[in-house]
Each structure stands twice: as structure tokens, then as C-alpha cells.
Amino acid sequence: MFKKILIANRGEIACRVAATARRLGIQTVAVYSEADATALHVEMCDEAIAIGPAAAQESYLKIDRIIAAALATGAEAVHPGYGFLSENEAFAAACEQAGLVFIGPPAAAIRAMGSKSAAKTLMEKADVPLVPGYHGENQEADFLQQQADKIGYPVLLKASAGGGGKGMRIVEASADFKAALASCKREAINSFGDDKVLVEKYLVRPRHIEIQVFADTKGECVYLFERDCSVQRRHQKVLEEAPAPGMTAARRAAMGEAAVAAAKAVGYVGAGTVEFIANQDGSFYFMEMNTRLQVEHPVTEMITDTDLVEWQLKVAYGLPLPKKQHELVIHGHAIEARIYAENPDKGFLPSTGRLHYLHTPAAVNFETVGAKSNRIDSGVRAGDAISPFYDPMIAKLIVWGEDREQALLRMGQALAEYQIAGLATNVAFLARLIKSAPFASADLDTGLIERNHDVLFPAPQAVPLAVLALATAVLLDAEKGEVAGDPWTINSGWRMNGLCKRVMEFSDDAGSTALNLTYQPQQWLLQHGDEHRTLTDLRLVKEMLPNPSQKNFDAAKVALRLDGKVVLGTVVRTQAMFHVFHAGHHWQLLWRDPIAHAGEAEEEGGRLTAPMPGKIIALLVVQGAVVEKGAPLLIMEAMKMEHTIHAPHAGIVEELLYAVGDQVIEGVQLLAFGGAEDSK
């Protein structure tokens, strides 16, 4: 077996590979950019080599620097992880030329499957069923539109060299085709350096089912069953599970055999995933093959009791597959939830910032592969930052159950215990998604989220009294005995005549709310609307926090009684912001300090700002342009995705403050925009 390998990746991916290597006694070398100098994957490996600036194009995508690092450290092989250079034919070839083993498929197999168009031609010859579409070389806009018209709308535009949901557009009508094509090609060239696209029939209510295949150098190839990855947003996976609900033995065998045929058609070696799009009636069509390990591979490991990274290392070393097809069986059900730094209520806009507070449910990590308990794969810790340079994934939460029902219950429980403060996350959204009737009943398709928008994106709810009480408890504790010997500052609310009364004003997305607080001996009377409760037995246990970046930042486990009923929660305070975690929910409350509050500046009219750090990639208007409400003004690229800034109302573009190619920080004004009266 290899004695030392280099891991050409970062974050959770590199940590995952390093964990298996450590278990097998293999030394590991990490590579890192300037932004990742203190990252977890650097600590987990035996050695670490700096390879360049924060931008991936200047570090993790620099083939020559990675090869040089491997040679300098005496690594025998390179594991590419998933993402970055994992499906790069030139990288695989460069490793081979340098005398390094590429822990992945041969360069020829990557080349064959790297182009979606060429791959479909190969699959057609191998009798693998294909979706109707055009996969040829002619990329003229008029010609592609003619092909789309012939196929029939809706159609799906896909970057030929793409993956991960990048460079994909659904086109509903011929009139929308060219605008969608331009956007698709722009994203494709930025993400993959290749703007070639293919056009396919877009299936209504399809399921996304993929087959894990594995081949060795001896000519053997097996499939490790399927994963259902239908639940997606923006063509990117949100939840994955194995096995696929409703899968029959006959259909599983048919899809597995088709996947093996696809792998053998290109002389495949190592771990690969053949992705199919399936109709509700059970028919299925080849979509693409990912020539690498998948992000969602843990659910396969859970149900097959395997370590797929260990398989990769053994196969790359020239050993035979650890198991034959008849030895592979399914045990139970596994579900994976991708926990992202993003705001689902704002179109899943990626979020950047520091993980001020991070509490996870009890779980094993990726070193205990196959364990029948919760598993968390992550490359970050409390105190780490999510930067705009890389994918905003915080962690993957994987649960296992004897059956799907038990796995759902465990996932719901684990998400309720996941607590993150410091940036926006999708944890609450995932909890709603898991409990939603369509997902719970396995009524799955790639449009599930859009079809159930109102259920999954409910209007903000009024803050419960218990949550207000928990936030208030932290304020009361902070005020306790502020000045020794001064009776006016102790939180008993002592007054010479009468009772001390206060109004605690908080606000959140639902608006402002007031809690009337009356101090009484050994207790407090709370009034919120028509509710009256007595607060007693207040107890706080402060938590130690890693490298808090702001003053007045703390966290505490809080216990109290409201009319004798115990209320438990965690409260994380960042100055006037209170993050209250209670009963599986996360509430963000802004406290209006009556003393420190000096008024809030009103939002300036016509000021359009960057929703997050990114780059200006297109200006859609010129200075002096008169536009209607909702008109697109410019396009930003951030976190490898495009974000269009629209006019908030009818008016005139007074000034463009940035040019195409400029980098901007979050919150900066992008252009000056006048009101409708200015355009007259």
C-alpha cells in the first residue's frame, strides 16, 4: 500500500480522505491557499504545503504547483478529492507523467466522460438509454434554438463540460431561448473554461437517481446500488438518500447493469457515479457520469458497510475490488443533508462570515465509516470563517436507520440539535423540508422545493413568550451587580417606592415586539400581549467560545421556569443581537437598548448594494438609462453563481459605480438610481 499521498483539495473533502489514510497508516500531505493557512484539513494531515493566493484559480487549480508539492514531499500518489481538479484530464495526465499515481480513473476515461456530448454518443453505442436532445458540435445560437424548437419545450441547457448544477438553464419558451443560452454560456466559461452546451428535453417531475460504480485494474466492475438525489435547488443537491424510495429489485438491477456498461465502455477504473434522470413510471435515461467520488458518497457507505476512499486507495495501488457484486447487500436506509452557509429566504444566497457559535448533535466523524449512528463530515470548526472564495458548505449531516421512517426521525432530531450563529444557514429550511409531507411520503422529483414553496418558506411567525424570556434572562444576568454596593444596578429591581417596571423591545423579520417586565422579590412578572407568566429559577451556564471576533459576544445554556414549567435554550449574544435556540428553532432577535439606542439611519432611496462579496460580470444598462421596476441592471458572480441586481422601482440610472471585472465587497453601493420623477 502507499506510504504517503498528497490530497489535492481542501475543507471537508481533504479531511475525509485524510481520515481514511490515517486509519490505514498512510501519511498525508495537505495543500493550502493563503485563505486556508489555519484550516482544519491543514491540521489533520502530516505535512502541509502552501500553493498560492486565496483564489482557487491561483492555488487549488494550479496543476504545476500541486505536482511540485507532491514531488517535494515524496508523495507516491495524489488523491484529487471531488471538485477542483478531480475530473481534469490534464491533471491526471500530469500526475502520470511526473511518476505519481492518480487516485482516480485514467485520463482517457475522464476525457471520454468529460464532455457530456461525447459521453452521450458513447452511451448510445453501449445501448444505455438517452434523453432526446442535441449533443453535437454546432454551437450557433440560431441553430441551437432550432434544435430546441424541434425537441419541444421545456428544454434544458447544460454546459457540456459542467457539473454541480453550474451552467444549467431551463427554457420554457422559444422567445426565452437566446437570453438563457447567453447566460448559460457565460457561466460555463467562467466555471469550466468551456462554453459549449447541449440541449435536452426537460422532463416534467423527473427524479434524479445515480448509481455508484467501482472498477479495478483487473477488469472487474460492480455497482454499489443507488442514491436518490432528487431534492435540489438551482440544480444542486440538498438532500440525498440511499436506497432510492420505491425502487424495485428489477429496476435496481437494470440501472446497475446500465451503469456498469457505461463504465466498461470507457475502460473505467476507480470510483465513479453514473447519473440517470428517471420518470415517475420507472423509465430512466443516462444524464452523465461523474468520474470521481461524489459529495453524497457517505449514504452509500452507510448502507453497504464500506469505506469508498479505502476502496479507491486499494484499486489505485493495483489491488482487486474488496467485494464482488453478489457480496454487496443493502442494510437499512441513510439520508444526507448538506448544511450550507446560505439564506434560503433570499433565493439560497450564499452567506459569508465567521462561525461564532457551532453546536452539533452527537455524531461520529468520517474516521468511523459505516457506523450505524449520526455522522458529520466537516472541514470547519467554531471560530472558522466561510470565505467567498470557495463552496459555502459547512458540513454534511448523515443519519442511518433500520428503515426510511427511522432515518427521517433521526434526521429531524439531529437538525433540531444543530446550532449555528454568525452567518445565515439552511438548517431551519432543511428541518422543514425533512418534515414536509412530499418528502416524508417519498413523493420525490427535482421540482419538489418549487412545488411546495409556501410550505417550505412560511411567513415569519410571532416570537413566542418563552423565546423572549430566554433572551431577557441573558440581559438580566448581564446586569447583575454591575457596580458593587449600588442598589440601583442589581437585577432585583429594587426601588425605594413601588415596583420596577421595564419594557424589553425586540425585533425580528416579523416586526417589533414588546415584553413588559415587572421586578418582584425572587421573580419577574412577564406580560406579552394577553399572556402573563411568572419567571423564576433563572440559571445560566456560560460556554467557552473560540476566538470571538466581537466584544460583548457570549453564549450560555439557559434554564428557567415560566409559571412553574421548565424552559430550556441556548442564547448566543453578539452585542444587541440575540440568537435564541429553543425547541429545535433558531430565533434572531435584535434588542433595542433604550439607553444606547440613538436612532436608526433610514435607508437611502435608490441605493442598490452588493448582497455579498463578488465580481461584476455584466452591466445590462448604461448611465442615463430609463428603466421599469424589476428591470435587470447588472450581474454579479459570487460563490461560482450569478446574481442579477434588479431595479427596485421605475427610474433612471444616474451613475454606474463599477465596471465589468471589478471585485466588490458585501454592502457596497453598486450604482446610483433615481426615482421615477427624475426620469421625466
Residues known to be catalytic:
292
User: Using CA atoms in the order 275, 278, 284, 285, what is the torsion angle rounded to 10 degrees?
Assistant: -50
Strands 553-562 and 375-378: unpaired
Q: Angle, to 10 degrees, between the axis of helix 116-125 and the axis of helix 107-114?
A: 100
DSSP states of 477-502? HHTTTSSTT-GGGSTT---SSS--EE
Contact at 8 Å (CB) between 553 and 356? yes
How far apart CA 304 and CA 299 sit, in angstroms, is 9
How far apart CA 100 and CA 93 sit, in angstroms, is 10
Tell me which DSSP letter residue 34 carries: G
Q: Is the dihedral of CA 234, 236, 239, 245 positive or negative?
A: positive
Distances (CA, A) of 388 to 18, 136, 353, 608, 637: 24, 35, 9, 20, 10
Strands 4-7 and 77-79: parallel
Within 13 Å of residue 190, how many CA atoms lie on the same side as its CB? Answer: 21
Residues 6+ apart with CB under 8 A from 103: 5, 77, 78, 79, 80, 270, 312, 313, 316
How far apart CA 450 and CA 427 sit, in angstroms, is 18
Which is nearest to 24 in space by CA: 302, 307, 300?
307
Which is nearest to 332 in space by CA: 410, 435, 222?
410
DSSP bridge partners of 170: 156
Residue type, 569: G
Overall residue count recorded for the chain in this entry = 680
Contact at 8 Å (CB) between 31 and 18? no
Burial group, residue 402, by CB count within 10 angstroms (0-12, 13-18, 19+): exposed
Strands 669-674 and 651-656: antiparallel
Within 13 Å of residue 283, how many CA atoms lie on the same side as its CB? Answer: 9
